[in-house]
Amino acid sequence: MQVREWALKWELHSQRKKIKRRLAAGAPVTEKGLWVMKHIAIGILGAAALGFMASAASAGTLDTVKQKGFLQCGVSTGLAGFSAPDDKGDWKGIDADFCRAVAAAVFGDASKVKFTPLSAKERFTALQSGEIDILSRNTTWTSNRDSALGLDFVGVTYYDGQGFMINAKKLPGVNSALQLSGAAVCVQSGTTTELNLADYFKKNKMEYNPVVFEKLEEVNAAYDAGRCDAYTTDQSGLYGIRLTLSSPADHVVLPEIISKEPLGPAVRQGDDQWAHIARWTYFALLNAEEAGVTQANVEEMKTSTDPNIQRLLGTEPDGKYGADLGLSNDWVVNIVKAVGNYGEMFERNVGSGSPLKIARGINALWTKGGLQYGPPIR
Q: Which residues bind another protein (CB under 8 A)?
A: 3, 32-33, 36, 39-40, 43-44, 46-47, 50-55, 58, 120-121, 124-125, 128, 144-145, 147-150, 170-171, 179-184, 189-190, 194-195, 197-199, 202, 208-214, 218, 221-222, 225-227, 229, 268-270
Encode burial over 117-155: b for 16+ CB neighbours within 10 A, e otherwise.
bbbbbbbbbbbbbbbbbbbbbbbbbbeebeeeeebbbbb
Strand order in the sheet with 71-75: 113-117, 71-75, 134-135, 266-268, 151-153
Smallest separation (angstroms) from another protein to the CB of 123: 8
The DSSP letter of residue 173 is T
State which residue, 34 or 359, has the beta carbon closest to another protein: 34
CA 303 from centre of chain: 34
Smallest separation (angstroms) from another protein to the CB of 130: 9
- SS3 at position 183: strand
Smallest separation (angstroms) from another protein to the CB of 105: 24
State which residue, 12 or 371, has the beta carbon closest to another protein: 12
State which residue, 23 or 36, has the beta carbon closest to another protein: 36
CB count in 10 Å sphere of residue 48: 12
Geometric angle at alpha carbon 285, from 279 and 290, rounded to 5°? 125
State which residue, 188 or 334, has the beta carbon closest to another protein: 188
Contacts of residue 14, defined as CB under 8 A and 6 or more positions apart, other chains included, come to none
State which residue, 39 or 66, has the beta carbon closest to another protein: 39
Give the span between the Cα atoms of 123 and 214, in whole angstroms: 12
Smallest separation (angstroms) from another protein to the CB of 373: 28
Smallest separation (angstroms) from another protein to the CB of 172: 12
State which residue, 128 or 315, has the beta carbon closest to another protein: 128
Smallest separation (angstroms) from another protein to the CB of 54: 8
Contacts of residue 377, defined as CB under 8 A and 6 or more positions apart, other chains included, come to 280, 283, 284, 287, 311, 312, 321, 332
